[in-house]
Structure formats: structure tokens, C-alpha cells
């Protein structure tokens, strides 16, 4: 029973981490932690009492599983004011959702516009498509990550098929002007894809008022669900007949046919879905909605303000991004003079119990824009469950390291 012993060792070390009162988790931009207890309880309940495969049979356990999957579509649709839950395609993560939108809709000869603050989940599929004949314009953002919507509009050509933007940078936290760009896209008849990895659940999002045609989201960040959940919200302007699925296979529908069904969401959801994860996502979205996205945003803005003010007072610390909570999400990138980001990260963890992320954050373009490539930065990602005391403890730790760096 070697495997059982190994699993027990993992769980034991995880439990010890949870009980460490001095540990401060500031890596919420990578994944939020801890998860609300109801998310965990719902997932356990789903495994204990559920167990069917949705859409694969008509018995009660299969139907219950199907209702969970439907509830996930509906929860996300309601959260972002999407009119049709049948146009919420569920995926394993936001990367898969972005790949579905990009590879599924763009063809050689099409022109795409994006920003220089994108994560590689956008940039890598676009570079791969570029090699296949899609033309790409990357609009340079300012060093703090800000994007001028006028430059996006000026870059539109006759063959422009799509504008792709992150809602907020995962490195600098900068919020991009999606509402303005959405209107530009709509005026020019161009599809607008938004990467909401850092914002779904953390910032108010309305796909209709922001004129978003495609919204890619993840379940495990500010929606407080588990990893392995995410999706693509597809608006009415997107012609599903033009969308090429990333994979083909069993859907539980039209089983008499050997060809992939041509309707949403089934055409893009082959294979058994992550029902347990989606049950957790439903509970996570419910938790977010009960707390209120506006209230979460206000809390995170207050923490960000506290962190930025404190950092500004520490000698030898350089902060990147807008340094204004109104213009960013609760993500703060910094450097300390005389100390490499990886050393800062290690010392914050080992000497101060503060967990953050260092390096390039899978976003080399963003770091080039900020002037922090290739060394990268130290990133503090704050979440709804962090407190002012934790911010203060982190400021003391950064101050301590900054003194040593001099």
C-alpha cells in the first residue's frame, strides 16, 4: 500500500500548512486559497452521493450529474449577465477556453489585434496561428500596462476578425479598457474576446454592456472553485457554425451519428466532464454572489491601497503597474534593490511564511512592456479572504528584506 502511504503524507503536509497560523497566502493570482468550506463540502457530497455520468444514461445519478453541469453553466451565465446558458461551454481551464476561441474561429488570412500585456495562454496560440497565416498586431501598452483604445481602433483593417484582450494583467494588475474596446469592436463588426482569468468574480463583469462576444474564465481563481474548471461564454454574434471544436468524441447526444454534433454546447464538450469540479464551481460562484462581487472588489481595493501605500514608504522597493487600486486588480509586482526576485520569494516563504510568485508569470510580453524581462518580479496576489493584518505583516517582511539588500 505504498501509494496510500504517499497520499497520506501529502494530505498530512497539507493539513500542517493549513494550521500554520503564521503562513500568509499571497498567491491568489495563481489560484485562490483557501477555498470556502462549502466548496469542499459540495465536492465531497457530489462524490459520495452523486457518481453518475451526465448525459450518458437516463438513471437518477446520471440526471443529477447533468443538473450539476447545467447549474454551472447557469451560475456563470447569471454572474456575467450572459443571456443563454447553452452558450456557456465548460472547459478544463481558461487556457483551453482561449484556445477554443482562437483556434476555433481564426483562419489563415484573418487579422487579429491583441495587447502587449497578454499571458502566454493568449500569446502562444496567437503565435502558433501566426505561423499558419493569421496576421497579428500587438498593441504596445505603456510600462504600467495601460492600453490606449484609440491605438486598437487605428489598427483595425478590412480583414480584422478579432480583438483579444486580457481584462487585467496577471503581472501588473492593470485593468484594460474593455468597455471602450468592446464598443470599438462592435462598431467595426469585429469579434471581441476577453481573457477574464484575473477578474471573473473579482470585478463586476457584464458581457452585454461591455459588448464582449467571447469571455474566457477560470473557476479556480476569483470564482473560488477547484482547479480543472473554466469555460467560454459565447455571445449571440458568434456564429457557432464557424466554430471548430478542439476535440471530437462522445457527447451523449446524437449517438446514432459518427459525426460531431453541430450545436452548442455539446459540439465543444466531448468526453466526460469534471462533474465534481463543476459542483465545486457552482458552490464557489454561489459564495462569490452571496458575498457580492462589488463587496469583494471593494475589499481587495482597500487591501491593495494599504499594500501600495506601505511599499511606497520602504526604501529600495520598486513597484510596477498603475499603483492605483482603481486602475488595477489586487495584483502587485515589485522588486527590491540588491536582491533577485527568486531570492526574495524564497526568503519571504522560509523566513516570513509569506507565499507569493516570482519570475515571469507566464507572461514574457508583459514583462518586456514593464521593462522587467528577463529577471521578472515578485508578485503579490491578494484575495477576498486576505486581511489588513496580513498586508501589514508582509510590509514588515519586505522592509526587513529591503534593509538586508542595501
Partner 1 sequence: MSGMGYAVILLPSTSHAMHAEATLKQAGIACKMIPVPRHISSDCGVCIRIAREDREAARAALAAAGIAWEGMHDC
Pick between residue 189 and residue 271 the one whose CB is nearest to partner 1: 271
- Binds partner 1 by CB under 8 A, chosen from 23, 31, 61, 70: 70
Catalytic residue numbers read 362
Coil, strand or helix at 148: coil
Residues 6 or more apart in contact with residue 332 via CB below 8 angstroms: 173, 304, 307, 308, 311, 319, 321, 379, 380, 382
For residue 253, state whether it binds partner 1 (rule: CB under 8 A): yes
Phi and psi at residue 280, to the nearest 5°: -65, -35
Pick between residue 11 and residue 263 the one whose CB is nearest to partner 1: 263
- What DSSP character marks residue 275? H
- Binds partner 1 by CB under 8 A, chosen from 225, 261, 280, 325: 261
- Binds partner 1 by CB under 8 A, chosen from 25, 32, 35, 66: 66
For residue 54, state whether it binds partner 1 (rule: CB under 8 A): yes
- Binds partner 1 by CB under 8 A, chosen from 21, 58, 371, 374: 58
For residue 241, state whether it binds partner 1 (rule: CB under 8 A): no
Cα 246 to its chain centre, rounded Å, is 20
- What DSSP character marks residue 345? H
How many CB atoms neighbour CB 207 within 10 A? 22
Question: Least distance from C-beta 363 to partner 1, angstroms?
Answer: 34
Query: β-strand 88-91 against 230-234: which pairing, if any?
Result: antiparallel
Query: Among the candidate windows 70-78, 183-191, 307-315, 379-387, which touches partner 1 by CB under 8 A?
Result: 70-78
For residue 235, state whether it binds partner 1 (rule: CB under 8 A): no
Query: Among the candidate windows 112-120, 255-263, 295-303, 320-328, which touches partner 1 by CB under 8 A?
Result: 255-263
**How is residue 204 written as a grid cell?**
463586476
Question: Least distance from C-beta 273 to partner 1, angstroms?
Answer: 10
Nearest CA among 219, 248, 198, 172 for reference residue 76:
219
Question: Least distance from C-beta 58 to partner 1, angstroms?
Answer: 3
CA dihedral angle for residue 22, residue 169, residue 101, residue 90, rounded to 10 degrees: 20
> For residue 288, with 0-12 CB atoms within 10 Å meaning exposed, 13-18 middle and 19 or more buried, which class applies?
buried
Whether residue 374 is preceded by a cis peptide bond, meaning omega within 30 degrees of 0, is yes
Measured distance CA(321)–CA(327) in Å, rounded: 9
- Binds partner 1 by CB under 8 A, chosen from 8, 208, 255, 406: 255
For residue 266, state whether it binds partner 1 (rule: CB under 8 A): yes
**How is residue 153 written as a grid cell?**
481602433
Given a contact cutoff of 8 angstroms between Cβ atoms, the answer to whether 129 and 112 are in contact is yes
For residue 84, state whether it binds partner 1 (rule: CB under 8 A): yes
- Binds partner 1 by CB under 8 A, chosen from 85, 177, 364, 405: 85
For residue 52, state whether it binds partner 1 (rule: CB under 8 A): no
Question: Least distance from C-beta 40 to partner 1, angstroms?
Answer: 25
Residues of span 267-326 touching partner 1 by CB under 8 A: 269
Query: Among the candidate windows 147-155, 222-230, 261-269, 342-350, which touches partner 1 by CB under 8 A?
Result: 261-269
Given a contact cutoff of 8 angstroms between Cβ atoms, the answer to whether 204 and 296 are in contact is no
For residue 74, state whether it binds partner 1 (rule: CB under 8 A): yes
Residue ranges that bind partner 1, judged by CB under 8 A:
54-55, 57-58, 63, 66-67, 69-70, 73-74, 84-86, 251-256, 261, 263, 265-266, 269
Amino acid at each position: 500500500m505504498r501509494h496510500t502511504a504517499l497520499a497520506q503524507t501529502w494530505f498530512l503536509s497539507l493539513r500542517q500548512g493549513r494550521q500554520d497560523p503564521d503562513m500568509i497566502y499571497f498567491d491568489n493570482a495563481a489560484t485562490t486559497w483557501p477555498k470556502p468550506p462549502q466548496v469542499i463540502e459540495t465536492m465531497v457530497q457530489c462524490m459520495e452521493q452523486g457518481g453518475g455520468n451526465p448525459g450518458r444514461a437516463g438513471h437518477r445519478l446520471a440526471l443529477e450529474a447533468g443538473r450539476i453541469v447545467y447549474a454551472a453553466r447557469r451560475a456563470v451565465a447569471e454572474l456575467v449577465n450572459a443571456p443563454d446558458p447553452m452558450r456557456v461551454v465548460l472547459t478544463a481551464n481558461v487556457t483551453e477556453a482561449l484556445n477554443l476561441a482562437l483556434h476555433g474561429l481564426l483562419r489563415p488570412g484573418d487579422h487579429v489585434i491583441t495587447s502587449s500585456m497578454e499571458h502566454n495562454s493568449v500569446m502562444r496560440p496567437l503565435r502558433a496561428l501566426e505561423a499558419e497565416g493569421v496576421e497579428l498586431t500587438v498593441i504596445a501598452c505603456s510600462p504600467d500596462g495601460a492600453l490606449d483604445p484609440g491605438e486598437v481602433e487605428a489598427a483595425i483593417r478590412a480583414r480584422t476578425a478579432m480583438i483579444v484582450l486580457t481584462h487585467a494583467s496577471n503581472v501588473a494588475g492593470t485593468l484594460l479598457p474593455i468597455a471602450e474596446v468592446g464598443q470599438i469592436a462592435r462598431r467595426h463588426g469585429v469579434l471581441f474576446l476577453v481573457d477574464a482569468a484575473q477578474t471573473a468574480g473579482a470585478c463586476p463583469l457584464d458581457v452585454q454592456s461591455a459588448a464582449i462576444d467571447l469571455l474566457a474564465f477560470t473557476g479556480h481563481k476569483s470564482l473560488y472553485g477547484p482547479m480543472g474548471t473554466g469555460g467560454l461564454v459565447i455571445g449571440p454574434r458568434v456564429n457557432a457554425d464557424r466554430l471548430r471544436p478542439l476535440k471530437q468524441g462522445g457527447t451523449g447526444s446524437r449517438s446514432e451519428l459518427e459525426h460531431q454534433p453541430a450545436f452548442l454546447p455539446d459540439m465543444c464538450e466531448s468526453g466526460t466532464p469534471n462533474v465534481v469540479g463543476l459542483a465545486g464551481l457552482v458552490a464557489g460562484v454561489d459564495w462569490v454572489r452571496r458575498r457580492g462581487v462589488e463587496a469583494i472588489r471593494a475589499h481587495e481595493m482597500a487591501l491593495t491601497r494599504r499594500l501600495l501605500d506601505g511599499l511606497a514608504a520602504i526604501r529600495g522597493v520598486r513597484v510596477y503597474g498603475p499603483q492605483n487600486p482603481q486602475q488595477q486588480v489586487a495584483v502587485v509586482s515589485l522588486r527590491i534593490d540588491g536582491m533577485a526576485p527568486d531570492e526574495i520569494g524564497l526568503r519571504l516563504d522560509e523566513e516570513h511564511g509569506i507565499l507569493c510568485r516570482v519570475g515571469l508569470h507566464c507572461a514574457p510580453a508583459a514583462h518586456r512592456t514593464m521593462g522587467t524581462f528577463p529577471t521578472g518580479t515578485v508578485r503579490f496576489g491578494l484575495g477576498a479572504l486576505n486581511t489588513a493584518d496580513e498586508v501589514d505583516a508582509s510590509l514588515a517582511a519586505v522592509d526587513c528584506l529591503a534593509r538586508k539588500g542595501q
